[in-house]
Amino acid sequence: MTRMIRIFDTTLRDGEQSPGASMNVEEKVMVAKQLARLGVDIIEAGFAYSSPGDFEAVRRIAQEVEGPTICSLARARPEDIDRAWEALKGAPKVRIHTFLSTSDIHLKHQFRMTREEAKRRAVEMVQRARSYVDDVEFSPMDASRSDPAYLYEVIEAVIAAGAGTVNIPDTVGYAVPQEFGALIKGICDKVPNAKQAVISVHCHNDLGVAVANSLAAVMNGAGQVECTINGIGERAGNTSLEEIVMGLRTRKDFYQADTQVRTEEIAKTSRLVSKITGMVVQPNKAIVGANAFAHTSGIHQDGLLKDKTTYEIMRPESIGLVESKMVMGKLSGRHAFRQRLEELGYQLTDEELNHAFERFKKLADQKKEIYEEDLEVIVSEELAKMSERILLKSFHVESGTDRVPTATVELEIDGQAVKQSGSGDGPVDAIYRTIAAMTKTKSKLLMFGVNAITGGTDAQGEVSVRLEEDGRTVSGHGADTDIITAAARAYLNALNRLAYMASKQAESQKVRLI
Ligand SMILES: CC(=O)SCCNC(=O)CCNC(=O)[C@H](O)C(C)(C)COP(=O)(O)OP(=O)(O)OC[C@H]1O[C@@H](n2cnc3c(N)ncnc32)[C@H](O)[C@@H]1OP(=O)(O)O
Ligand SMILES: CC(C)C(=O)C(=O)O
Ligand SMILES: [Mg+2]
């Protein structure tokens, strides 16, 4: 049977403890409304005592957000509990979450309390909170570094005092999965009244295992997981909501557990939190990173085209993305290349595809990512090339402030290799004059324009030219990451068009004479 795990979102409380992530009241209300659409069970809206702004945020969220239970954090102090109640009162589903450390390190150095004093205070504050609300959560802070025997005692006492949820924090992110799972199992097995409360977990990511610890806890009886959107939170952050939720959903077969989160809202929620907090999501972040559904290598792309399950354990649609992304680059193969061209409307023969693919691979060695515009240029040029009389084999230019620009160009004209040198006012002029001499063209250059078609310093530059000869005007285009190569290609493209038009005209005159 599948157990339903409660999702306690603390983006607005622990998440806000990320350096620089503070949110104003309006922003918190906006995030809380989105968390409600996401379907989390509990929203920790803030720490009402900590500031007038947080008090107002908790109050507004409790009043305005429908669906989840709204919670405020409170230290184990009467003034904090009372303030939390003030912010929550009048709202339909509310919880007070109070906490106090149980580790000797904290009790001795921070709280200067004995174990007995701390246990008594915890019980008193749970009772005080219960005098206001039915739903009280208690956290023995730094539980993972506490003496288990003492921890069990405190847990038993707070449950007896009325805490319906006992949350076990790995406050400093010290625990590792097997150990943390065993801690939860120990609590479930050894605390006599453990079954009267939901055992929750709250993990920090200092060792990068917050999600793994939370999953281990679920395996061992935890019924609630505390987490944040994009894993933001104090220091290295908290358990990431999207990872725990998708981990359980995707591996329901293994964990026999799930949540009631509407996962299709995950991507949107992640973007909203990132935008509001200014905390950018790393591209390789699981589930919500820009690369989480991007496939780059030819072998993976080929498998995906045949069947998505070959390389995708979850569908991008399941978190609200439109589709997975095939990144065209140096590691792509022919299957993905053909597919992308077909999407762009090009049906190529095998021969055309092979030529275009060769050119694409060369370009991909020079550019990180190949965009649609790059592909269009490659394909249109390759298609045009099939009927080209003049082909560029190579060129070499020399130019500088202290010399006359010269060019040596090697062409293939009607199948014959020709090589020649010439000079000009600049490197492009030198190439154009040399090509003109080699092809014996009498055409006039009417226009020369340069345009960057993709962004960045590795952008493809496109050169467009317009030539006129014997009353015929043609344009030519060439693209390359090297602008002089693009210029040479554009000129030859236009010359080929002139030659093509001249040959077509000659053919039609022949037909007329016959
Ligand atoms: C693990 C966590 O994430 S816990 C939550 C952490 N979040 C925050 O601290 C954010 C909000 N905090 C604040 O705005 C402030 O710290 C306040 C308003 C709560 C308190 O501010 P101040 O009164 O100036 O105290 P300050 O923060 O310097 O010190 C904390 C005090 O609270 C006490 N304290 C800390 N946690 C608890 C607790 N759970 N129960 C009771 N007392 C506590 C400390 O012992 C210390 O008391 P002391 O002044 O008697 O030594
Ligand atoms: C307040 C508690 C639950 C906390 O954030 C922690 O211990 O990390
Ligand atoms: Mg925390």
Residue 149 CB contacts under 8 Å (≥ 6 apart), including other chains: none
Q: How many CA atoms lie within 13 A of 473 on its CB side?
A: 5
> Do 23 and 169 share a domain, yes or no?
yes
> Do 29 and 133 share a domain, yes or no?
yes
- The answer to whether residues 58 and 72 touch, using CB atoms and an 8 Å cutoff, is yes
Q: What is the distance between the alpha carbons of residues 241 and 260, in angstroms, rounded to a whole number?
A: 12
325 inside domain? yes
Ligand 2 lined by 203 (C-beta under 6 Å) = no
Which of 203, 199, 211 is closest to 234 using CA atoms?
A: 203
- Give nearest CA residue, ligand 1 atom 44: 111
> Do 346 and 425 share a domain, yes or no?
no
2 inside domain? no
Residue 259 Cα, ligand 2 centroid: separation in angstroms? 22
The tokens describing 65, both together, are 């957000």
Q: How many CA atoms lie within 13 A of 180 on its CB side?
A: 32
The tokens describing 159, both together, are 């449950």
Q: How many domains does the chain have?
A: 3
Per residue in 398-417, pLDDT (tens digit) is 999 999 999 999 999 988 99
* Better-scored residue on pLDDT, 192 or 449: 192
- Give nearest CA residue, ligand 2 atom 5: 14
- Confidence band for 514, pLDDT divided at 50, 70 and 90: very low
C-alpha distance from residue 468 to each of 465, 497, 498 (Å): 10, 11, 8
Tell me which of 23, 55, 111 to substitute to probe ligand 1's pocket, judged by most ligand atoms within 8 Å of the beta carbon: 111
> Do 221 and 333 share a domain, yes or no?
no
Q: What is the distance between the alpha carbons of residues 500 and 502, in angstroms, rounded to a whole number?
A: 5
- The length of the chain in residues reads 514
Among 383, 406, 436, residue at a domain's last position: 383
Whether this model's ipTM surpasses 0.95 comes out as: yes
Atom of ligand 1 nearest to the CA of 234: 3
Ligand 2 lined by 205 (C-beta under 6 Å) = no
Query: Tokens 């599948």 label which residue?
Result: 2
- The H-or-E segment that residue 257 falls in is strand 257-258
CA of 121, nearest ligand number: 1
Tell me which of 73, 75, 105 to substitute to probe ligand 1's pocket, judged by most ligand atoms within 8 Å of the beta carbon: 75
> Do 243 and 372 share a domain, yes or no?
no
- Domain CATH code at residue 314: 1.10.238
pTM: 0.76
> Do 373 and 405 share a domain, yes or no?
no
Q: Was 477 annotated as part of a binding site?
A: no
> Do 405 and 508 share a domain, yes or no?
yes
Q: What is the distance between the alpha carbons of residues 11 and 17, in angstroms, rounded to a whole number?
A: 9
CA of 167, nearest ligand number: 2
The answer to whether residue 494 scores a pLDDT higher than 70 is yes
> Do 257 and 332 share a domain, yes or no?
no
**Which structural domain range is residue 200 located in?**
9-277
- The answer to whether residues 406 and 426 touch, using CB atoms and an 8 Å cutoff, is no
1 inside domain? no
Atom of ligand 2 nearest to the CA of 172: 8
Q: What is the distance between the alpha carbons of residues 458 and 82, in angstroms, rounded to a whole number?
A: 61
Residue 398 CB contacts under 8 Å (≥ 6 apart), including other chains: 405, 406, 407
Per residue in 335-355, pLDDT (tens digit) is 989 888 877 767 778 888 898
Q: What is the distance between the alpha carbons of residues 400 and 408, in angstroms, rounded to a whole number?
A: 16
> Do 271 and 242 share a domain, yes or no?
yes
CA of 99, nearest ligand number: 1
Q: Mean pLDDT over residues 214-242, rounded?
A: 98
Residues near ligand 3 ion, CB 5 Å cutoff = 14
The answer to whether residue 115 scores a pLDDT higher than 50 is yes
Q: Which residues line ligand 1 (CB under 6 A)?
A: 14, 17, 47, 49-51, 75-77, 99-100, 110-111, 141, 171, 234
Among 355, 383, 411, residue at a domain's last position: 383
Which of 260, 223, 261 is closest to 242 using CA atoms?
A: 261
> Do 80 and 224 share a domain, yes or no?
yes
Q: Was 204 annotated as part of a binding site?
A: yes
> Do 171 and 234 share a domain, yes or no?
yes
> Do 374 and 477 share a domain, yes or no?
no
- The H-or-E segment that residue 128 falls in is helix 115-130
